[in-house]
Amino acid sequence: MAISLNVNGETHEIDVDPATPLLYVLRNDLELNAAKFGCGLGQCGACTVVVDGEAVLSCVTPVSLMEGREITTVEGLGTIEEPGPLQAAFMEMQAAQCGYCIPGMMMSAHVLLRKNAEPSDREIRDALMTNLCRCGTHMRILAAIRRAGELMQQASAPTERRAG
Amino acid sequence: MGGGTAIWANAGSALIPKGEEVDPVRFIRFLAVVLILILIVAAGLFAIAWRGEIEPVAAVDPSSFNEDLVAQGAQLAAVGNCIACHTVPGQPAFAGGLAIPTPFGTIYSTNITPDPESGIGNWSEEAFQRAMREGVDRQGRYLYPAFPYDHFTLVTDEDNRALYAFLMTREPVRSTPPQNDLPFPFNMRMILAGWNLLFLDKGPFQPDTAQSEEWNRGAYLAEGLGHCGACHTPRNRFGAVDSDRHFAGGEAEGWQAYAINATSPAPIPWDADSLAFYLRNGWHEWHGVSRGPMAEVTGNLGLLPDRDIAAIATYVASVMGEPDQTRRERAEQLKAEISQGQTAVQAAPATDTQAGDAQHPGAAIYASACAGCHNGSKPLPFGGLRFSLSTAVNAPNPQNIVNVVLFGLPPSDGEASAVMPAFANVLDDQQMADLLAYMRERYSEAPAWEDVADLVARTRSGQYKVAVRPADGIERGPENVGASGGAEDAED
């Protein structure tokens, strides 16, 4: 079937079997390789992307339902030259060991921070409940997400201060 | 009050024929007689209904209880699943305060820790025995049957003694639950005296001498402390279990409690062995995983010795009865299909669509969202259940499969448990209805469900409240609570 996909603000026209999971289209057709194939069963979170502002597991998300919906992947958070606050914070805190889970972690964190820029550790743990990391960098991931929240607040702070 | 006065006024005018002179003295005498009769009847009812206070006791020394008795009480408390209702997820165990929605209003569970002021710390064993047998608290107030004393009444004095020992040796917690939110007349506890006359069949349990000792042990645990029927038997309009429809299926916290009698919708009929395995482990290869409020039940039953689990299974299997020839043959056919299917799928994984499926709007959704686990090569508990075996897909009401697809199965913390991703953010109401229609058509011989999109919408919005909790200890719950509505209430 022909389908029009909106990914990171760009529209892509593709022709796929409607039974294909979104992850395969992102990686194979659009060559957006941030989202990873981990378990393929929606259990590890490595494939997490954002659809209409909510975290979804793209390996079990039917691409046939994505027409007209707004999809965001790590590629949409910033560029190598200008990393977004989450990307900058993960680099600053050296939150990646092997790094395979990190794009999924970042997308879950992105959804959380857009709703709440100052989450408690409890809230971060809840939001990342379905994102598994086997290397054990959890403490750095927590630190990176707290730092990203700070960076986001700093970015929006001057106008707010003036207003206050 | 206004309504009452109007009724009496009408009664008066009916008794006094129009146009006759009324002798005021005779009329006053008549009124006095009526009033006295009313008072006598009221006093009689009051005498029946009245339950006195049992004197408070000074702090009970936890070390005064025999260790074996406390250990026995811990097992019994697991059978009773006391912790599930008497604990707010994430809060201290047994401290109460969980909102229990009922058709009559919201009831909050009580604090059953040994705190003397807010819990049951000043209850004597006699007061505890009376609460279990009669549904009356230490002060003599009627308890609401949300506390299933209509089942607990069957518990023996010895087992109540052990339960008392267990509860009185827990950590005391100072915590007063919120006031019940019940409209008049349900806020009048005295009306429960009438309810008890009608629906409370006082125990203790009387064994059936025609049955085996194991059967009787199972009946005692399942009908009494286990209170299976509190969820699995439908309730009448007074909120009492309808004993004519024993185990015919009911509802709990937004989940369907399936029929566990001869009308069980399980595609492969249960027997004592499969029931025992399921109650012990929380899953069975032909039936899937326990979830919703049943996950807490099987989680708790893990504490029981094998012989008690086997007894419950024997009893419940006997209530279900032997399946007829048709069901047995169908079961054998399903088992054969499953073993063939697993081999076939290993060769050609993922998309398990059939010719003609492409026309069904749910088929593509199923292939990419469900088939990976549910038609994969991994058997339970590592893979998902084949839906041809699923009670949820074969049940008369689609509520449970709606709950699971919307909210998923949240993982337990730090222990093995069932897990499934939530699809609420992927599927809209119609897409979910399409998916479920496809699953029903493909994996069940039962007729299509009706109005599924509407049910999905009401469940998603929280208008129909569903409690979603992980299978493990309820004390660690809130970070894993996924559903809006019921679960949020519970946290408040």
pLDDT digits (tens, 9 = 90+) for B173-190: 999 999 999 999 999 998
* pLDDT the model gives residue B461: 93
Contact in structure between A10 and A24 (CB atoms under 8 Å): no
CA-CA-CA-CA torsion for A76, B368, A41, B458, nearest 10 degrees?
90
In a domain, B386, yes or no: yes
- Looking at the 3D structure of chain B, how many domains does it have? 2
* pLDDT the model gives residue A158: 61
Question: End of a domain among B199, B222, B248?
Answer: B199
Q: Is the pLDDT of residue B488 over 80?
A: no
Same domain (yes/no): B342, B429: yes
Same domain (yes/no): B351, B412: yes
Contact in structure between B166 and B132 (CB atoms under 8 Å): no
User: Torsions phi, psi of B109, nearest 5?
Assistant: -70, 155
* pLDDT the model gives residue B471: 63
Same domain (yes/no): B334, B381: yes
Q: Verify whether the Cβ–Cβ distance B365 to A59 is below 8 Å.
A: no
- Among A54, A59, A126, select the one facing B479 at the smallest CB separation: A126
- Among A54, A60, A129, select the one facing B479 at the smallest CB separation: A129
* pLDDT the model gives residue B453: 97
Half-sphere exposure (CA, 13 Å, Cβ side) for B197? 9
For chain B, the straight-line distance linking the first and the last C-alpha, in angstroms and rounded, comes to 34
Distance (Å) from the C-alpha of residue B373 to the closest C-alpha of chain A? 6
Q: Verify whether the Cβ–Cβ distance B369 to A54 is below 8 Å.
A: no
Of B327, B415, B421, which Cα lies nearest the Cα of B369? B421
What is chain B's mean pLDDT, rounded? 87
CA-CA-CA-CA torsion for B427, B431, B435, B438, nearest 10 degrees?
-170
Minimum CA–CA partner of A129 in chain B: B480
Same domain (yes/no): B181, B221: no
* pLDDT the model gives residue B349: 40
Which ranges of chain A have pLDDT less than 50?
Answer: 160-164
* pLDDT the model gives residue B342: 60
- Among A62, A126, A130, select the one facing B369 at the smallest CB separation: A62
As a residue count, chain B comes to 492
Return the number of other C-beta atoms located less than 10 Å from residue A162's C-beta: 7
Which string of DSSP letters, residue by residue, matches B153-199? TTS-HHHHHHHHHHHHTSPP---PPPPPB--TTTT-TTHHHHHHHHH
Between chain A and chain B, the number of residue pairs with CB atoms below 8 A apart is 66
Same domain (yes/no): B130, B255: no
Question: End of a domain among B156, B177, B199?
Answer: B199
Q: How confident is residue B357, by pLDDT bands cut at 50, 70 and 90?
A: low
In a domain, B3, yes or no: no
Domain, as residue range, for B414:
213-491
Residues from chain B contacting residue A63 (CB–CB below 8 Å): 368
**A34 alpha-carbon distance from chain centroid:** 9
Return the number of other C-beta atoms located less than 10 Å from residue B38's C-beta: 10
Same domain (yes/no): B440, B324: yes
Q: What is the percent of chain B with per-residue pLDDT over 70, rounded to a whole number?
A: 88
Q: What is the mean pLDDT of residues B279-301?
A: 91
In a domain, B288, yes or no: yes
* pLDDT the model gives residue B358: 64
Same domain (yes/no): B263, B141: no
User: Torsions phi, psi of A145, nearest 5?
Assistant: -70, -40
Distance (Å) from the C-alpha of residue B174 to the closest C-alpha of chain A? 25
Rounded-to-integer distance, Cα B112 and Cα B156, Å: 19
SS3 A56: strand
Same domain (yes/no): B260, B188: no
Rounded-to-integer distance, Cα B214 and Cα B210, Å: 12
* pLDDT the model gives residue B469: 79
In a domain, B350, yes or no: yes
In a domain, B10, yes or no: no
Q: Verify whether the Cβ–Cβ distance A62 to B419 is below 8 Å.
A: no
* pLDDT the model gives residue B415: 74
- Among A19, A122, A129, select the one facing B364 at the smallest CB separation: A19
Residue ranges of domains in chain A, CATH in brackets: 2-76 (3.10.20.30), 85-158 (1.10.150.120)
The domain that contains B164 carries what CATH number? 1.10.760
Q: Which residues of A touch B (CB under 8 A)?
A: 18-21, 40-43, 51-52, 54-57, 59-65, 122, 125-126, 129-130
Q: Verify whether the Cβ–Cβ distance A51 to B426 is below 8 Å.
A: yes
Q: Which residues of B touch A (CB under 8 A)?
A: 351, 353, 363-365, 367-370, 372-373, 376, 410-411, 419-421, 423, 425-428, 431, 479-480
Question: End of a domain among B143, B174, B199?
Answer: B199
pLDDT digits (tens, 9 = 90+) for B51-97: 889 999 998 899 999 999 999 999 999 999 999 899 887 788 899 99
Q: Is the pLDDT of residue B395 over 70?
A: yes
